[in-house]
Amino acid sequence: MKTAAELKHGEKARISDINSDNPSYKRLIEIGFTPGQEIELVNTSVFNDPMAFSIRGTLIAIRRNEADCIILS
């Protein structure tokens, strides 16, 4: 099962589910990470964490462990 944390620079993928084990999962959904959406890893910070994703026409930075609960199809 691949998650958004494993994406490479410029790689696109579609979200299949959000893992509700992560306490931040509701906020991730609210900000636009919903199943069916396409995301692209655009930037990672100097220490590879946080990671910036392009989603729904904007850029959102989240931590690697948060990206790890975004399950890709």
Partner 1 sequence: MTFDVAKRIPLITLVGPPNSGKTTLFNYLSGKNFKTVNYPGSTVEYYTCKMQDKFNIEANLLDSPGIISLNPNSPDEEVTVNSLYNHPEYGTPDLIIVTADASQLSRHLLLTKQLLTAGFKVILVLTMKDLLEKKGLTVNIEKLSRILRCDVVFVNGRTGSGLNDLIIKAEKNIKELSHEKSFIPYFIPEQLSKENLLSLYSEIENLTRAVIEPIEPPDIEKINKKIKVLNPVLQEPTLQPDLFTLKLDRFLLHKKYGLIFFFLIMTTMFTSIFWIAAPFMNLVDDLFSLLASSSSELLGNTWYSHLLSEGLISGIGSVLVFLPQIIILFLILGLLEDTGYLARGAMMIDKPLSKIGLNGKSFVPMLSGFACAIPAMLAARTISNRRERLLTIFIIPLMSCSARLPVYALLVAFLTPSDKPWLGGVLLASIYLFGIGSSVIVASIINKFSHKLIKANDNSSFILELPAYRVPKLKIVLKNSYVNALHYIKRAGPIILFLSLIIWFLTYMPNHTPQIDTTGLSHDEIIHAEKSERLATSYAAHLGKFIQPVMTPLGMDWRIGVSLIAAFAAREVFVSSLALIFRVTDDENIQSSLLTAMQNATNQHTGEPLFTTATVIGLIVFFIFALQCISTIAVSRKETGSWRIPVLQLIIFTSTAYLFTLIVVNGLRLVGVN
Q: Whole-angstrom Cα distance, residue 16 to residue 53?
A: 16
Which of 6, 52, 68, 71 is in the footprint of partner 1 by CB under 8 A?
Answer: 52
Q: Does 34 bind partner 1 (CB under 8 A)?
A: yes
Which of 5, 13, 62, 72 is in the footprint of partner 1 by CB under 8 A?
Answer: 62
Q: Does 47 bind partner 1 (CB under 8 A)?
A: yes
Is the distance from CB of 67 to CB of 4 less than 8 angstroms? yes
Give Cα 50 to chain centroid, integer Å: 10
Q: In the chain, at which residue ranges do the beta strands (DSSP E only) sit?
A: 12-18, 38-44, 51-55, 58-62, 70-72
Q: Does 29 bind partner 1 (CB under 8 A)?
A: yes
Binding interface with partner 1 (CB under 8 A):
18, 20, 23-32, 34-35, 38, 42-47, 49-50, 52, 54, 56-63, 66
